[in-house]
Every structure is written in structure tokens, then in C-alpha cells.
A and B are shown apart, each in its own frame.
Chain A
Amino acid sequence: MIPLLIYIVIFVAAFFIVTKVVQGAGLKDYTSLKTVTFGDESAVRPNRAAGIISILTIFLMWGIFTGSSLLPGFLHAPGPFEGTTTFTYTAQVEGQAPDDATVTVIVHPREVETDAPEVDPGDGFAKNDSAAIAQWRTGLINVARNDDISKADGNRVIAINGQKIAPGETVKVDGGSVTLSDKGTPNFEPIKGWQMEPLYLPSPEAVWVRSIEIAKEGFRNFTLLEHLGYSLFRVVVGFFFGALVGIPLGYAMGLSDWFRGWFDPIVEFMRPVPPLALIPLVIIWAGIGEAGKIILLFLAALWIMAIAARSGVSGVKISKVHAAYSLGASKWQIMRHVIVPNSLPEIFTGARVAMGVCWGTVVAAELVAAEQGAGMMIMTASKFQNTDIVIMGIILIGVIGFGIDMLMRWAERLLVPWKGKG
């Protein structure tokens, strides 16, 4: 809840600051002269400053709640308690005066092995205790263990720091809180603070350091580039074969009623089947090696490309075909000079979609089973709770997916500049 509120505050504050600054600087363009902008879609263009601040905010929030060393300390959310704290408990046995004893607890970072400190047992039947508890963890402290009178003989904890306590109740102490378990054992819970535990969300610099490390040393017998390269290779090969079969199939469906009738049911049935649903079958048929993944991606791309090519052919204006015929073009020339170029924009759109689907599918397939690949990397890392590698993998997968789309758009602008101009 607090992170969301902080986020909203940054959002609103940035909005006011940026709009004030822009207005103050007196930047005017045509849009700023429009009196009606609400509902005018063309007047809504992404605010560049908002985009940059948005990305920075994500990293800022990430840093705040992971205690990132990239941020000055005062920006950090309160961290978990670390250090030594003590509390006293009061033990009582029927027929005897209650006796106090002190518990010393060392709260240490998880990665630092720490032993419970030696403490002087003190006097009375209740003896002083000690414990070592990792941050974000809790520990049952069996205080009666070293006492002169055991629990079985009626030794009960009745108060913590002088405050009365019954099983199930909690008393706040320095550095944490003590809850009495159902069986009457104090359970110490150090203050967690508001930061995320590295196990759940490592800090940005930890992810960065781990990324450098993986890039240098590799992960599971393959370098980082090999992992990503394998995924990309599968996508490219699967997409290539999908397009190689799908485009001619789509053309045939667009040009021949027999092909259209024959393949329509198959294509229309296969199109809504998510490629992920085919993974089990493909694994049964082709195993978890390269062949299986390429078949899967081939199937993912095939229907998309076939449908794109089909609608590209069907979308050709009849007047263009008629014009070409009455200019003396043969069927083959019409195919080559009218139908194919006319369908290219649709095919490019299909290719962009297909590449996106293939990229998603390959990662999912690698999550299920693979020797190498981006998906395998994050799946294996998650099994070992290497959250930093998981986050690094997700970021890389996103960057590559974005890169693929940018590349396709660029190719589209270059190769089919007439898109949407017909």
C-alpha cells in the first residue's frame, strides 16, 4: 500500500512540476494552440518527460524498497533490524516466586552465519538465554531449556519485559516483537522494515553485478550469449519455416477456392489453439531437443503467416487486378507485380505478430524443458532461488522482444513504404 501511495505521489508531483516547467519555458507548438484536446486523439502524444520520469521512478522505487546502495541512505525505506537486542521474560512455577531472566538475540543478515552469543546464566531458577535469528526470519526461543525447572514440571512464561502475556499474545520489545506460542514458547520476530527481502527482490545493483558475472562466467555450462542466442536461433528458424510454408499456403488459399475450402477448417481451428498448448504433444513427439522447439515455433508462425498472406491476397482491390489485365499482364505477371506487392504490408504485419508470438512461445517452451536458452536460465535460477538471475533474464527477454519488434517495424518502413497508402 505504501509503495503504491509513493508511486502515486511521484506521478502527481512529476505531472505538476513538468507541466509548470514546460509552460514556464513557454514551449508552444501547434497542439498547444488547440482549444479542444480532450477527445482529439491526434493531440495526445506521449509526453517525453513523463516517459523518462516513469522509467526513473521504477528504478527509484526499486532502489527505495531494496535499500539500494545507488541511492543515498535517507531515501531508503526503513530496513530490517540488525544487531543485538534483549528482552526479559518472567517464568513462574506453582508454589515459587516468579523469576526474571534475560534473552539476548542477535539479528544477522541471512548470508552471514552467526552463532548465538555466550551469556552468563544468572541466578534464580530461570536462566538467561541467547539466540541468533536471521533478518526477515522468526525464531522460537525455548527459554525453559536451560532453566532449573523444566516445562514439563510447570515452568511457564507469564510476562515479557514485565508485561503480562498469554499464549497467542504479542508483546513489542526492542528490535522486534515476542509472541507466545500455543505451547507457551516465546517466538521472537525481528522488525522487518519496509524493504523487500533480497530473496524476493534483489537490489538493482545486485542484479547488475550478477548480470556481469553471468555474462563473464556463463550459466550452467553456457555463456549468456549462448543462452540468448539459442533462443533467438530457435525463433528465427521456426519463424523462417513457418513463413516458408505459411505464405505460399496463404496465397493458395487466397487464389484457389479448392485450397481455401480444404485448408480453411484446419487454419481456422489451429489459429485459436495457443502454441503453448502444443508443448506437451510436441515434447511427446519430438522430445525436448532443438527439433521439438523448432516444430513448435514453426506451428506458432505457420497459421499466423498463412492468414496474413491469405488476407493480403483477398485484400487486393479488384480494380488493380482488372487494370493489370487490361494492360496486358498475364496471370503470372499479375501474381508477381500486383498480388505479391499488394499483400506485402499484410504479410509484414503478420510477421511482426508471428515473431512476437514465437518469442513468447520459445521462452515458455524453454521454461518447460531445455538444456539452454533464456527461459531455461530463469527457470533453473528460480529453482535455486537466484532471484537476481530471474530478474536479469526477464529484463533481457523483454529487451530482446522489444528489439525484435523495432527491427520488424524498421524493415517494414524500409521495404513496404506504401503500407496503408493504397
Chain B
Amino acid sequence: MTGLSINNLSMRFDLPNGDHVQALQDVSLDLKAGELLSVLGPSGCGKTTLLNIVAGFLAPTSGELILNGHKVTGPDAERGMVFQQGALFEWMSVRENVGFGPSMKGTPKKDKDETVNHLLDVVGLQDFKEKAVYELSGGMQQRVALARCLANDPDVILMDEPLGALDALTREKMQSLVLKLWKETGKTIILITHSVEEALLLGERLIVMAPRPGRIHKEYRLPFADLGVDADLREVKKHPEFGPRREEILNMIWDMEEEIMGGKEDAA
């Protein structure tokens, strides 16, 4: 059986002062291979915790995670990760960064070079391959991060706000690139984002999480990602369903934020 099943995942952090934070409670989710899931939610809803558990950096306090029939217990090359920024190795050239995964596995140089060259073509950085990563712009750096992740041919790609630090224009271009790569490679992708538009545009499925305790609040299946593969994303935004969906989700998140703020005021 292929795909990722998240079964009754709970995560509880005990604080030194005796309190505890229920970061996640009974989160269950099934992702088929090749699905693109975007995750939205107000800050503190546990979305990054969820991603870290899927990546294997955190062990859940209860529940389990099954990927392609085996249990996830730690980080592995089968689950690639793309971070917001600053996760590239600045002591390596673009080429070396992209080839990092294959190098670690001991892939023969010829195969590695082939993979790297192909991916640099895909992300459009062939001319920059001998540059140091800090010489590239933010958008280019994120392309390197995407290529680096893909070079390992992971089953699942986890993205933690990968486009969050980019300017609006670059961000739009990168969104198209993510969709293109998703379609071409058929990878399962989990994308965490703060931008409702981005979540709608990229998420074939979308979950909105709620805080205290962190849980899945609502789930959507959306047509926009498929539409956006071949079309201009600005056209997709004109889709009649797009606006109402955006308003609906924005209101949902606003309500949650207000609840949090209200709770704080009560406590104070």
C-alpha cells in the first residue's frame, strides 16, 4: 500500500512549570501517493509540529505514522524537506548543494552529475551551478532547495513555508514552479503556509487546523491546483469559486485568532 497515513497523532509538550501544551490532538489523515496537501492555521495550531513529526524530527506522544506500509521513526531520505530559508549549505556551490543527497548515498559521480544537471535545468539554474549559494537571490535559493530535495527522489516532500520570505512577484513564479514540479514528478507534497491564497492555489487538498489543542478543523478538496498546472495563476484566482473559498477560510482563521486573543484577555 502506498501513501502516508497519519493515525491518531497526539503531541504533548510538558513545560518545566508543570503545565503542558497539547500541540496536537488525535490528528488523523490519509494522503494518497501524489497528493498535494496544503496546511493552514493560525500560529500555534501545531502545523509545524505536525510537519516535524512527519519528517521524523519529533516522536509523537501517541499515534503513529505509516508511509508506504512501514512505520516512520526518524528522518530519512524518503521524506525530503524544503525550509523557509537558510537551510542551504553556504560552503557548497549550487551544484554541490543539489548533489548533496546523492553524495551522501554514495551515488556514482556520473549518475549524480546527470541528476544534478537535469534538476538544474528544471529549476532554471544551469548557468549558476558553480556559484556560491549566497550569491543568489532569495527566489533562486529556494529553487536550489527544491532541486536539492528532488535530487534525492523522495516519496514525500515536506515544505515549511518555503515561499514565505519571498517578494510577491517571485512568490507567484515559485508557486507555478511548485505546481509544475508536482505534476511532473508525481510526488506527495505537504505544504505549510500562512498565505490563504497560496494554500488554495497549490493545495489539491487543504486542511485548516485549529489551536488549543492543535487539531484538524476543516478539510477541503479543491480544483485550483489542477487548473493552475497549465494556466496562469492569476487566471485561476478569477475562478468563481476562488473568492468565496478565500473569504470563508480567512473568516475561519480570523475567528480562531480572535478566540485566542479573547482567551488571553480573559486570562489577564
Please give, as numbers and ranges, the residues of chain B lying within 8 Å of A324 by CB-CB distance.
89, 100, 104
Closest CB in chain B relative to A338 CB, distance in Å: 7
Contact digits for B46-77, partner A, Cβ 8 Å, 1 yes 0 no: 00000000011100000000000000000111
- Given the complex of chains A and B, what is the CA–CA distance between A322 and B87 in angstroms? 8
Kindly identify which residue among B55, B84, B105 contacts A326, using a CB–CB cutoff of 8 Å: B55
Query: Is A11 close to B, CB under 8 A?
Result: no
Please give, as numbers and ranges, the residues of chain B lying within 8 Å of A328 by CB-CB distance.
76-77, 101, 104-105, 152
Please give, as numbers and ranges, the residues of chain B lying within 8 Å of A421 by CB-CB distance.
90, 132, 134
Interface residues on B, range: 20 to 34
Please give, as numbers and ranges, the residues of chain A lying within 8 Å of B154 by CB-CB distance.
326
Looking across the interface, which residue of chain B has its beta carbon closest to that of A324?
Answer: B100
Query: Is A418 close to B, CB under 8 A?
Result: yes
- Given the complex of chains A and B, what is the CA–CA distance between A338 and B149 in angstroms? 16
Query: Is A181 close to B, CB under 8 A?
Result: no
Query: Is A292 close to B, CB under 8 A?
Result: no
Contact (Cβ within 8 A) B80 A422: no
Contact (Cβ within 8 A) B87 A327: no
Please give, as numbers and ranges, the residues of chain B lying within 8 Å of A72 by CB-CB distance.
none
Query: Is B81 close to A, CB under 8 A?
Result: yes
Closest CB in chain B relative to A113 CB, distance in Å: 70
Give A277-329 interface residues, CB cut-off 8 Å to B.
317, 319-320, 322-329
Kindly identify which residue among A317, A327, A344, A418 contacts B100, using a CB–CB cutoff of 8 Å: A327
Query: Is A220 close to B, CB under 8 A?
Result: no
Contact (Cβ within 8 A) A320 B86: yes
Please give, as numbers and ranges, the residues of chain A lying within 8 Å of B75 by CB-CB distance.
322, 325-326
Query: Is A401 close to B, CB under 8 A?
Result: no
Please give, as numbers and ranges, the residues of chain A lying within 8 Å of B158 by CB-CB distance.
326
Contact (Cβ within 8 A) B104 A319: no
Contact (Cβ within 8 A) A337 B89: yes
Kindly identify which residue among B55, B76, B145, B152 contacts A322, using a CB–CB cutoff of 8 Å: B55
- Given the complex of chains A and B, what is the CA–CA distance between A329 and B56 in angstroms? 14
Kindly identify which residue among A322, A344, A418 contacts B81, using a CB–CB cutoff of 8 Å: A322
Looking across the interface, which residue of chain A has its beta carbon closest to that of B83?
Answer: A319
Asked, given contacts A322-B57, A324-B100, A328-B101, whether A338 binds B77 with beta carbons under 8 Å apart, the answer is no
Please give, as numbers and ranges, the residues of chain B lying within 8 Å of A322 by CB-CB distance.
55, 57, 75, 81, 83, 87
Please give, as numbers and ranges, the residues of chain A lying within 8 Å of B148 by CB-CB distance.
323, 327
Please give, as numbers and ranges, the residues of chain A lying within 8 Å of B55 by CB-CB distance.
322, 326
Contact (Cβ within 8 A) B104 A422: no
Please give, as numbers and ranges, the residues of chain A lying within 8 Å of B205 by CB-CB distance.
none
Closest CB in chain B relative to A336 CB, distance in Å: 10
- Given the complex of chains A and B, what is the CA–CA distance between A400 and B158 in angstroms? 54
Please give, as numbers and ranges, the residues of chain B lying within 8 Å of A325 by CB-CB distance.
56-57, 75
Name the residue in B89, B91, B101 with the highest tally of chain A Cβ atoms < 10 Å from its Cβ.
Answer: B91
Q: 11 A-B Cβ contacts within 8 A?
A: A319-B83, A323-B81, A323-B148, A325-B56, A326-B81, A326-B158, A327-B104, A333-B104, A337-B89, A418-B132, A421-B132
Given contacts A327-B152, A338-B89, A421-B134, 12 further A-B contacts (CB under 8 A): A320-B86, A320-B88, A322-B55, A322-B57, A323-B148, A324-B104, A326-B75, A326-B79, A327-B100, A327-B148, A329-B104, A341-B91
Give 5 closest A-B pairs by Cβ, nearest first.
Answer: A328-B77, A421-B134, A325-B75, A341-B91, A319-B87
